[in-house]
Amino acid sequence: MNDQIFSLKPFPSTKPLSDLKITGSITRRANQLAIRYKLFDELKEVIIAPASDRSARKHELWKDTCFEFFLGIKDSQQYWEFNLSPAGYWNVYRFDGYRQGMQEETAFITLPFGVQNQADSLVVALDVDLDKIVSAQAWEIAITSVIKHRDGEVTYWALTHRGAEADFHQRDSFIIEL
């Protein structure tokens, strides 16, 4: 078992940011991965789509508030991008290398996750069995979020920002090892 807590940082911006905070935890047990995001403080500044009645696959979730993580296999260029929308939508993409060969990951037909939207916080939690895509080797993970503000600005949050522009796909930002 491997448990870690995290706190995401916004990509440096010239515009002052609100007091928004994104924290969470990630746990691996064999090929089970549990990840929990908590968005809190200036929540009224964030556009959060109302939850839908069903969990459905949807493209381009990163254009709105979206919680993401990237999963790579140590010493391999291949990786997956998981997108979770507070509205209940989700998607998983497989890449052959840095932004190359993007394909919808068909190993998942559902990705059940929970969303708790309270007055002062939003919690998104996923517990997923990754047996369908990876085996017991070492994983490298990047944890990220896209936050759409009420004024229309979009901010990019991650454990680390390694480039001159926000780019969650940079493999050297997959800094959690599980």
19: pLDDT confidence band, cut at 50, 70 and 90? confident
Q: Domain limits of the chain?
A: 2-11+19-177
The mean pLDDT of 128-149, rounded to a whole number, is 93
- Burial class, 58, CB count within 10 angstroms (exposed 0-12 / middle 13-18 / buried 19+): middle
Q: What is the CATH number of domain 2-11+19-177?
A: 2.60.40.1190
Sheet holding 113-117, edge to edge: 2-7, 21-29, 32-40, 121-129, 113-117
- Tell me what percent of the residues of the chain surpass a pLDDT of 70: 96
List pLDDT tens digits, range 47-106.
Answer: 988 777 667 899 999 999 999 999 999 999 999 999 999 999 999 999 999 999 999 999
User: What's the CA gap between 35 and 143, in Å, rounded?
Assistant: 9
